[in-house]
């Protein structure tokens, strides 16, 4: 948690880091990914059979190697909007017998050459855990869970064995639909219809496999959909709607994408997600209070299973949504990740949307990969910002112009220096400072550094518009050392990570 005091622009900013004040554990699942049958994410992204860069399964080895650098705990699949009409059965069994189908979400053709077994194999090869989003539009849930996790002598568990996999996959995370509130969804629902169906599905799925984690489909976290679905579905385990001693809903999903052509609005927009998390957390509490959920029942956490910088007008979904990210976008991603670290008490998972090619920090060509500007904050966070969120306080000036979204200005400050801090189990303190100011460096007092050798990693570039997509690496990480004394200057439009041993 980072607190903030606004001071005059003329005064020297201060960042105080309190390594001894551990606030909440950071769930490693905040560094999760997302792969959708959309554009070149699967075909030509993670799966590219026949390419010399691919292995015997058709998996791109260079993509796997890059993703391993991020140590990704969970990857969501197969959508997104794609899952609304997807039938998992189309994507299992002999490949030459799998049907090609019209794909309605992104208006293409799905060949089904990559499906459940391929994805689960890819997860094993990458070393990550799968998270499936259930099709809430054409009802295929029970059979899919049975196929993946069934251990008995039953139809779909036997189908899995016949397809070459004896042991259950034990897929733990299952989403009860995706954005079912959206007009772009097949079987778009009212909140009333969704809540009624979700709770019955949850009951059936937990009867089938009590070990799974079920994720309710929320909206932005700050909407009447979120309020209604939470209050209808977060129930005591022994409520009349439930049949077991177990809670039916474990997590609440929210989605948000941010973007603006104005740099400072773009960089500060993820603070809207912070307010949304705070509001969703309160709605979870409200549901627990209204429904008399006993204190010993685990409190649902937030599954922020789609987040990123994305302007769907400039990177159109049906055209593959390939963004060319700027330095400004990299700073926005830095603030997105600061938000998840600061809000670690409530965030049980966060999935960047998406992991390859589609609105992604990692791009493929037939010849190799490109790490976009946004790769570097993600790389730094996933490498070092683990363990515990610790207390920090920032005193600095703030941007006070219009924001994106507009409502952000009314409910939150947008400081020039956006900060989160952690301490790892190894005793190293880590601080990330994003200076969103386009013109000003800030000489800053950094309190709480009890070391005379501080490792510093800086992500910046000539100006906020530079990208890595034109054959040049304009944005990367530059490493240096600071002696921990005096003032430290955070350069304009930069992300700085400082880390030191507290022992």
Nearer to ligand AHR, 81 or 328 (CB): 81
What angle is formed at CA 180 by the lines to CA 176 and CA 183, rounded to 5 degrees?
165
Residue of closest CB approach to ligand AHR: 80
Is 270 among the residues that bind ligand AHR (CB under 6 A)?
no
Nearer to ligand AHR, 36 or 323 (CB): 36
Work out how close the CB of 337 gets to ligand AHR at its nearest, in angstroms, rounded to a whole number: 18
Is residue 499 within 8 Å of 430, Cβ to Cβ?
A: yes
- Number of C-beta neighbours around residue 11 at 10 A: 10
Contacting residues for 200 by C-beta, under 8 A, at least 6 apart:
none
Asked if 36 is an active-site residue, the reply is no
Is 496 among the residues that bind ligand AHR (CB under 6 A)?
no
Nearer to ligand AHR, 141 or 351 (CB): 351
Tell me how far CA of residue 279 lies from CA of 349, 401, 455, in angstroms. Answer: 17, 23, 36
Residue among 2, 85, 180, 354 that touches ligand AHR (CB under 6 A) = 354
Is residue 30 within 8 Å of 347, Cβ to Cβ?
A: yes
Q: Which of the following is catalytic: 36, 118, 219, 306?
A: 306
Token pair of 53 as six digits: 């860069």
Tell me how far CA of residue 50 lies from CA of 21, 92, 186, in angstroms. Answer: 53, 20, 34
The piece of 18-26, 74-82, 210-218, 293-301 that touches ligand AHR (CB under 6 A) is 74-82
The piece of 77-85, 326-334, 344-352, 365-373 that touches ligand AHR (CB under 6 A) is 77-85
Measured distance CA(130)–CA(51) in Å, rounded? 25
Work out how close the CB of 406 gets to ligand AHR at its nearest, in angstroms, rounded to a whole number: 21
Work out how close the CB of 324 gets to ligand AHR at its nearest, in angstroms, rounded to a whole number: 17
Nearer to ligand AHR, 185 or 344 (CB): 185
Nearer to ligand AHR, 255 or 265 (CB): 255
Is 223 among the residues that bind ligand AHR (CB under 6 A)?
no
Nearest Cα to 133, choosing from 61, 75, 208? 75
Task: Sort 324 into a burial class: Cβ within 10 Å, 0-12 / 13-18 / 19+.
Answer: middle
Work out how close the CB of 178 gets to ligand AHR at its nearest, in angstroms, rounded to a whole number: 5
Nearest Cα to 420, choosing from 239, 271, 241? 271
- What is the size of the binding site for ligand AHR (CB under 6 A)? 9
Contacting residues for 54 by C-beta, under 8 A, at least 6 apart:
47, 48, 60, 61
Token pair of 221 as six digits: 């976290």
Nearer to ligand AHR, 77 or 457 (CB): 77
Work out how close the CB of 41 gets to ligand AHR at its nearest, in angstroms, rounded to a whole number: 9
Positions 24 through 63 that interact with ligand AHR (CB under 6 A): 36
Nearest Cα to 249, choosing from 279, 278, 288? 288
Task: Sort 32 into a burial class: Cβ within 10 Å, 0-12 / 13-18 / 19+.
Answer: buried
Is 276 among the residues that bind ligand AHR (CB under 6 A)?
no
Work out how close the CB of 185 gets to ligand AHR at its nearest, in angstroms, rounded to a whole number: 9
Nearer to ligand AHR, 38 or 235 (CB): 38
Positions 78 through 97 that interact with ligand AHR (CB under 6 A): 79-81
Nearer to ligand AHR, 354 or 420 (CB): 354
Q: Which of the following is catalytic: 179, 219, 274, 323?
A: 179
- Write the binding mask 156 to 195 for ligand AHR: x where contact by CB under 6 A, - elsewhere: ----------------------xx----------------
Work out how close the CB of 106 gets to ligand AHR at its nearest, in angstroms, rounded to a whole number: 8
DSSP 47: B
Is residue 205 within 8 Å of 231, Cβ to Cβ?
A: no
Work out how close the CB of 468 gets to ligand AHR at its nearest, in angstroms, rounded to a whole number: 21
Token pair of 346 as six digits: 């409530």
Nearer to ligand AHR, 360 or 430 (CB): 360
Residue among 226, 250, 306, 404 that touches ligand AHR (CB under 6 A) = 306
Phi-psi region of 447 (alpha: psi -120 to 50; beta: other; left: phi over 0): beta
Nearest Cα to 46, choosing from 337, 255, 355, 439? 355
Work out how close the CB of 313 gets to ligand AHR at its nearest, in angstroms, rounded to a whole number: 13
DSSP 22: E
Q: What are phi and psi of 286, to 5 degrees?
A: -60, -45
Summarize the chain as % helix, strand, coil (round to 5). 30, 25, 45
Q: Transcribe 402-417 into DSSP letters.
A: --SSTTHHHH---BSE
Judged by the rule CB under 6 A, the positions of this chain that interact with ligand AHR are 36, 79-81, 178-179, 306, 353-354
Which residues form the catalytic set? 179, 306
């Amino acid at each position: 948690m980072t607190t903030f005091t606004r001071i005059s622009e003329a005064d020297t900013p201060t960042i105080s880091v309190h390594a001894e004040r551990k606030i909440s554990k950071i769930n490693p699942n905040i560094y999760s990914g997302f792969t959708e049958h959309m554009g070149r994410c699967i075909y030509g992204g993670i799966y590219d059979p026949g390419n010399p860069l691919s292995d015997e399964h058709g998996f791109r080895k260079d993509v796997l190697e890059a993703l391993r650098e991020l140590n990704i705990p969970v990857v969501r699949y197969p959508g997104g909007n794609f899952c609304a009409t997807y039938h998992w059965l189309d994507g299992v069994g002999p490949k030459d017998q799998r049907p090609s189908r019209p794909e309605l979400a992104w208006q293409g053709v799905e060949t089904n050459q990559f499906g459940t077994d391929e994805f689960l194999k890819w997860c094993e090869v990458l070393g990550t855990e799968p998270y499936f989003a259930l099709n809430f539009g054409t009802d295929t849930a029970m059979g899919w869970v049975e196929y993946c996790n069934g251990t008995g002598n039953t139809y779909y568990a036997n189908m899995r064995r016949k397809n070459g996999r004896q042991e259950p996959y034990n897929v733990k995370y299952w989403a009860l639909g995706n954005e079912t509130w959206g007009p772009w969804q097949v079987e778009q629902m009212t909140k009333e219809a969704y809540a009624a169906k979700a709770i019955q599905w949850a009951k059936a799925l937990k009867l089938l496999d009590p070990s799974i984690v079920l994720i309710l489909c929320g909206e932005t976290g700050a909407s009447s959909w979120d309020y209604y679905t939470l209050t209808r579905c977060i129930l005591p385990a022994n409520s009349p709607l439930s049949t077991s001693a177990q809670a039916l809903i474990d997590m609440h999903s929210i989605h948000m994408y941010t973007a603006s052509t104005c740099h400072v609005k773009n960089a500060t927009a993820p603070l809207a997600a912070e307010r949304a998390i705070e509001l969703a957390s309160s709605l979870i509490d409200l549901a627990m209070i209204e429904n008399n959920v006993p204190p010993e029942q685990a409190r649902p956490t937030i599954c922020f299973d789609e987040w990123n910088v994305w302007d769907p007008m400039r990177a159109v979904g049906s055209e593959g949504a390939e963004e060319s990210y700027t330095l400004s976008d990299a700073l926005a991603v830095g603030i997105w990740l600061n938000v998840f670290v600061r809000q670690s008490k409530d965030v049980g998972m966060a999935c960047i949307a998406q992991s390859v090619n589609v609105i992604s920090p990692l791009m493929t060509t037939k010849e190799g990969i490109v790490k976009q500007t946004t790769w570097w904050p993600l790389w730094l966070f996933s490498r070092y910002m683990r363990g515990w969120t610790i207390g920090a306080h920032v005193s600095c000036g703030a941007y006070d112009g219009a924001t994106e979204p507009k409502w952000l200005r009314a409910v939150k400050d947008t400081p020039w220096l956006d900060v989160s801090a952690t301490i790892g189990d190894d005793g190293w303190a880590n601080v990330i400072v994003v200076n969103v100011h386009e013109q000003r460096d800030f000489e800053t007092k950094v309190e709480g550094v009890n070391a005379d050798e501080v490792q510093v990693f800086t992500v910046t570039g000539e100006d906020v518009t530079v990208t890595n997509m034109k054959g040049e690496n304009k944005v990367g990480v530059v490493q240096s050392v600071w002696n921990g004394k005096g003032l430290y200057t955070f350069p304009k439009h930069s992300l700085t990570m400082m880390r030191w041993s507290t022992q």
